[in-house]
A and B are shown apart, each in its own frame.
Chain A
Amino acid sequence: MNAPSAAISCRGLRKSYDDVKAVDGLDLEVSAGECFGLLGPNGAGKTTTIEILEGLTRPDTGDVAVLGRRWGSHERELRERMGISLQETRLTEKLTVYETLALFRSFYTRGRSPEQLMADLSLEEKRDARVGKLSGGQRQRLAVACALAGDPEILFLDEPTTGLDPQSRLQLWERIAAYKAAGRTVLLTTHYMEEAERLCDRVAIVDHGRIIAVGTPGELVAGLHAPHFIEFSTEPAVTDALLAGIPGIGERRQRDGRWFLAAASLAQAVPALIASLDGAGAKLVSLSTHRSTLEDVFIALTGRELRDE
């Protein structure tokens, strides 16, 4: 049923914990050589989905194929051919970086040496440091290095940069991009839209255990029909009726006393907005604009922000 180029495919995945539907009818197709992102807020079902695809969680119903193989019949072969980094992995603190990598290398019949892995993830200086003494960024790089120990064809990363400082995040993004550049497949979950935009060829937006939109970041943003957003607040607040009349303004939303307006052209919309506010006697407290992002796509689809719990 799968085209040979499909690295991962699943149909009708469902998984409930007690009465909570973590995954609620999810279909997915990831091509070989693609970096695919599952983007969604915490609790959207991303981790359950990726763990089902990784063969660590059994779905209640649904069908999963990785590299054209099933978990039930080809588990060992699949494990040899893929690398996994779990969310919040805590590696043994008493072992050194080198010892940890040598241990993980030993599990695979073929793979990369600890030296190569340390070079890949810039961990050479920490060769003999115990895992317990590493910073958060170094630990996460080590976790990814462990996932790469078998030189995998597919890399699964669950929230790879959550909780990292911006510099560590950039470092890790570079490594993931380099791995992908070698023609390998990556599936990652994230709730950072910036991460999805930077790394992913295609993104699936996940909410309440379902995929509500799939496409390249460009396609998804283009689907908004509004390349820009204007965000402002005034004193006193203005009503929707006033904004409705402004030319070049699309969708309007109000949140925490601020307005968010989708605009096709800033050059047209911003002067018109300021003129209308002046006319109504409302004083601008703040005004900013940004190019539309996946965050705006998520808000437009769900009415909520990604960082909402």
Chain B
Amino acid sequence: MSERQHPLLALTKARLLEFVREPEALFWVFAFPIIMAVVLGFAFRDRPPDPVPVGVVAGPKAPEISGALAKADTVKPISYASLAAGLEGLRTGKITLLVEDAGGLVYHFDPTIPDARIARLEVDDAIQRARGRTDPSPARLAEVHEKGSRYIDFLLPGILGLNLMGTGIWGIGFSIVNARLKKTLKLMVATPMRKSHYLLAQMLSRFVFLVLEVVVILVFGVAAFHVPVRGSLGALGFVTVLGALCFAGLGLLVVARARTLEAASGLMNLVMVPMWLLSGVFFSSERFPKAAQPFIQALPLTAVNDALRAVMLEGRSLALLGTEILIMAVWGIASFALALKIFRWQ
């Protein structure tokens, strides 16, 4: 008779070995978030915003207007020979505002575009000042470039949440459907292995990658963009671990019955795509209508993203994150329990 490893440990180890020996899987877990971060790095590097292109229709007052606009660094004047040509430029998006002065100043613009509304104010300001307007109470501009309030600061925790969800659901989903297709699952069920051990091992093996994954994204964000981590690392660790477990449970549930890779992919997308959009990865989920908020707030990715942002950007402690922690825990435990109940083993 021989010594044996604990089955949960042995299953977790086997799953890890299987994973690191799969080069494609490694790419999606490690290389993909880095590439994403590099691309974003180019998009959001520190520099002043581009000047907004503004069209000026040719006419006797055109040189004066162009001269006034050239002095303002927020807009860039472009000359058009006729009103028709200018309107064509406006319609095709080459300019955001068109200035015409043939016996009276006219601004052509689409008020539903925020940039156009800002351009109108900037242009009007520049022209009126050039024509002699004086401000009754001139203001001093005090610019703020504080870390933590930029878009990249908002985005990075979102990317972290997105990655936790993606690797959790994909990583677990494909591995299980594969084992089911190849009948490895059926063979294991024919042994005294506890089914809960198999499913728990899938979740546990996620931890190892989780640590690496989170560290890679976080270190990149802090080093390249100086994204702040104001809360404690312990709180951040707790939120990421809980988030990963929550998505691992969801991953198990999504593929609990799927017989084919196609069916599994479809289900995974069905679960993940709405969360990509609704859960505040790229823009705040508060932009959605009020009526939808209870639903959006109950989504696991919303809870994960909100908790990550609260810890990183606001430095909040776990004690103040009760709702988010509860939502993550309920999703994780409920989906694991349901998956165990309805799981198709052969």
Known: A90-B183, A92-B14. A107 touches B192 (CB 8 A): yes
Q: For B193, list chain A residues within 8 Å (CB).
A: 107
- Closest chain-A Cβ to B190's Cβ sits at a distance in Å of 4
A109 adjacent to B192 (CB under 8 Å): yes
Residue A108 interfacial (CB < 8 Å): yes
Residue A146 interfacial (CB < 8 Å): yes
A102 adjacent to B191 (CB under 8 Å): no
B5 adjacent to A106 (CB under 8 Å): yes
Known: A106-B10, A150-B191. A99 touches B17 (CB 8 A): yes
A106 adjacent to B187 (CB under 8 Å): no
A105 adjacent to B4 (CB under 8 Å): yes
Known: A90-B182, A91-B184. A103 touches B189 (CB 8 A): no
- Closest chain-B Cβ to A164's Cβ sits at a distance in Å of 18
Q: Can you list 25 residue pairs at the A/B interface with Cβ under 8 Å? A: A55-B190, A79-B190, A79-B191, A84-B190, A86-B183, A88-B183, A92-B182, A92-B184, A94-B17, A94-B22, A95-B14, A103-B10, A103-B11, A105-B5, A106-B4, A106-B6, A106-B10, A106-B11, A107-B7, A108-B191, A110-B1, A112-B1, A114-B2, A130-B21, A146-B187
Chain B interface (Cβ < 8 Å from any Cβ of A): 1-7, 9-11, 13-14, 17-18, 21-22, 179, 182-184, 186-193, 346
Q: For B14, list chain A residues within 8 Å (CB).
A: 92, 95, 99, 103
- Complex partner residue of B187 from A55, A89, A109, A114, CB under 8 angstroms: A89
**Cα distance, A99 to B12, chains bound together (Å):** 12
Q: Which DSSP category, helix, strand, loop or mixed, fits chain A's interface? A: loop
Q: For B18, list chain A residues within 8 Å (CB).
A: 92, 94-95
A116 adjacent to B2 (CB under 8 Å): yes
**Cα distance, A31 to B179, chains bound together (Å):** 35
4 smallest CB-CB distances across A and B, nearest first, come from A113-B2, A106-B10, A79-B192, A90-B182
For chain A, the bracket of interface size reads 35 or more
Q: For B4, list chain A residues within 8 Å (CB).
A: 105-106, 108-109, 111
Q: For A109, list chain B residues within 8 Å (CB).
A: 4, 192
Chain A interface (Cβ < 8 Å from any Cβ of B): 54-56, 76, 79-80, 84, 86, 88-92, 94-95, 99, 102-114, 116, 130, 146, 149-151
**Cα distance, A174 to B5, chains bound together (Å):** 30
Q: For A99, list chain B residues within 8 Å (CB).
A: 13-14, 17
Q: For A103, list chain B residues within 8 Å (CB).
A: 10-11, 13-14
Known: A92-B18, A111-B1. A86 touches B186 (CB 8 A): yes
- Complex partner residue of A102 from B5, B179, B183, B190, CB under 8 angstroms: B5
Q: For B183, list chain A residues within 8 Å (CB).
A: 86, 88-90
**Cα distance, A105 to B191, chains bound together (Å):** 10
B187 adjacent to A91 (CB under 8 Å): yes
B10 adjacent to A56 (CB under 8 Å): no
**Cα distance, A93 to B14, chains bound together (Å):** 11
Q: For A112, list chain B residues within 8 Å (CB).
A: 1-2
B190 adjacent to A86 (CB under 8 Å): yes
B188 adjacent to A107 (CB under 8 Å): yes
- Closest chain-B Cβ to A179's Cβ sits at a distance in Å of 17
Known: A92-B184, A94-B18, A95-B14. A56 touches B190 (CB 8 A): yes
B191 adjacent to A104 (CB under 8 Å): yes
- Closest B residue to A84 by CB, please name it: B190
**Cα distance, A109 to B193, chains bound together (Å):** 10
- Closest chain-A Cβ to B7's Cβ sits at a distance in Å of 4
Q: For A55, list chain B residues within 8 Å (CB).
A: 190
Q: For A86, list chain B residues within 8 Å (CB).
A: 183, 186-187, 190
Q: A99-B14, A106-B9 given; name 5 further pairs at CB < 8 Å.
A: A84-B191, A89-B183, A90-B183, A95-B17, A112-B1
- Complex partner residue of A108 from B6, B17, B186, B192, CB under 8 angstroms: B192
**Cα distance, A55 to B187, chains bound together (Å):** 12
- Closest chain-B Cβ to A6's Cβ sits at a distance in Å of 21
**Cα distance, A113 to B2, chains bound together (Å):** 5
**Cα distance, A160 to B72, chains bound together (Å):** 84
Q: For A80, list chain B residues within 8 Å (CB).
A: 192
